[in-house]
């Protein structure tokens, strides 16, 4: 007897992306990510960003949700825009005393910013709309080692459990009037916090393992998938491959 995981296609949305097999979406995401990393043309990257925004809208993701996730990246992008023009050698844009920004540095910052935002939008649309079970089943069908797939699924399942355990310990510390300061007592207390979290995590993992064995778990999950490879998946993957090759060739030719 094995645990059966149902990896059904997401029917919560009606976008065209939801009709693609999860394997197609994973392969397309990897292919486009590698392609964008290899391109340095501002024109191509700008077009790719517009395309990625359209795909994200097609996926049915709310504008507020997308913006909220991008805000975490924009801080890093702003740092690049502020630092790279002044730390990269090249033709100066202007001179203001010791401040001499270079055009090459500004271009490099713009290229990196476009890559980061484009890759993020594409991955949100293609992978972010998949459930963990769909991702795990797609990886299994793509012949990814079963131990890695199982590790992914168990990690996704129990990250929130560890977060709740951490929150409980922190509440207990606050109930005992603990206030974090920059002193030895604070660092020692946080060390005990990490230690207790590891001990409780280990104990919980043993309980979960025993419970799974009592239910007949033999070391591997059995997936029941309703997704099937269709003609649309073949066309999509072919178009993505041809487009990626053309963009890389065009980027190196310019």
Other C-beta atoms closer than 10 Å to the C-beta of 198 total 11
Q: What is the pLDDT of residue 212?
A: 85
Q: What is the pLDDT of residue 100?
A: 75
The model carries a pTM of: 0.76
Length in residues, the chain: 254
Q: Could you give the CA distance from residue 204 to residue 98 in angstroms, rounded to a whole number?
A: 59
Q: What is the pLDDT of residue 99?
A: 75
Q: Could you give the CA distance from residue 60 to residue 114 in angstroms, rounded to a whole number?
A: 22
Which is higher by pLDDT, 102 or 225? Answer: 102
Q: Rounded to the nearest 5°, which phi and psi values hold at 122?
A: -65, -40
Residue 181 has pLDDT above 50, yes or no: yes
> Which residue matches tokens 């793509």?
142
Output 163-172 pairs: Cβ under 8 A, ≥24 positions apart: 165/197, 165/200, 165/201, 165/204, 166/193, 166/197, 169/193, 169/196, 169/197
Strand partners, 92: 102
Condensed to tens digits (0 to 9), the pLDDT of residues 184-197 reads: 989 999 999 999 99
Q: Could you give the CA distance from residue 4 to residue 222 in angstroms, rounded to a whole number?
A: 5
Would you kindly state where each structural domain of the chain is located, as residue ranges? Answer: 14-139+228-253, 145-224
Q: Could you give the CA distance from residue 33 to residue 11 in angstroms, rounded to a whole number?
A: 26
Q: What is the pLDDT of residue 2?
A: 41
Which among 34, 117, 52, 41 has a CA at the least distance from the CA of 80?
117
Q: What is the pLDDT of residue 30?
A: 93
Which among 76, 78, 54 has a CA at the least distance from the CA of 66?
54
Q: What is the pLDDT of residue 254?
A: 65
Mean residue pLDDT of the chain comes to 83
Residue 214 has pLDDT above 80, yes or no: yes
Condensed to tens digits (0 to 9), the pLDDT of residues 41-65 reads: 888 899 999 999 888 888 877 777 7
Report the interhelical angle of 22-37 vs 103-126 (nearest 10°): 180
Residue 6 has pLDDT above 60, yes or no: no
CB 129 within 8 A of CB 12: no
Q: Rounded to the nearest 5°, which phi and psi values hold at 224?
A: -115, 105
pLDDT grade, residue 12 (50/70/90)?
Answer: very low
Which among 37, 40, 25 has a CA at the least distance from the CA of 126?
25
Q: Could you give the CA distance from residue 41 to residue 236 in angstroms, rounded to a whole number?
A: 24
Q: Is 175 helix (H, G, I), strand (E, B) or coil?
A: helix
Q: Could you give the CA distance from residue 135 to residue 217 in angstroms, rounded to a whole number?
A: 21
Can you tell me the mean pLDDT for 134-145? 86
Q: Could you give the CA distance from residue 38 to residue 94 in angstroms, rounded to a whole number?
A: 30
Q: What is the pLDDT of residue 14?
A: 56
Helix (H) or strand (E) holding 100: none
Condensed to tens digits (0 to 9), the pLDDT of residues 90-101 reads: 787 777 767 777
Q: Which of 61-75, 118-132, 152-166, 170-184 has the lowest mean pLDDT?
A: 61-75
């Amino acid at each position: 007897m094995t645990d059966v995981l149902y990896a059904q296609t997401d029917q919560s949305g009606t976008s065209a992306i939801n009709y693609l097999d999860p394997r197609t979406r994973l392969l397309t995401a990897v292919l486009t990510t590698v392609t964008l990393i290899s391109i340095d043309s501002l024109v191509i990257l700008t077009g790719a960003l517009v395309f990625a925004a359209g795909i994200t809208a097609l996926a049915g993701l709310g504008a507020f949700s997308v913006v909220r996730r991008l805000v975490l990246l924009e801080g890093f992008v702003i740092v690049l825009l502020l630092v790279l023009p002044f730390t990269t050698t090249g033709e100066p844009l202007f001179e203001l005393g010791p401040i001499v920004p270079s055009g090459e540095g500004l271009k490099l910052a713009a290229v990196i910013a476009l890559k980061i935002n484009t890759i993020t939008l594409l991955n949100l649309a293609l992978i972010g709309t998949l459930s963990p079970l769909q991702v795990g089943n797609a990886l299994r069908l793509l012949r990814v080692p079963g131990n890695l797939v199982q590790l992914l699924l168990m990690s996704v399942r129990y990250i929130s459990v560890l977060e709740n355990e951490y929150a409980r310990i922190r509440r207990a510390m606050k109930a005992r009037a603990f206030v974090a300061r920059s002193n030895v007592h604070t660092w020692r207390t946080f060390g005990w916090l990490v230690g207790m979290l590891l001990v409780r995590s280990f104990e919980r993992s043993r309980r979960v393992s025993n419970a799974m064995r009592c239910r007949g778990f033999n070391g591997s999950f059995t997936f029941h998938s309703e997704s099937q490879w269709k003609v649309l998946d073949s066309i999509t993957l072919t178009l993505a491959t041809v487009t990626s090759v053309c963009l890389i060739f065009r980027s190196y030719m310019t």
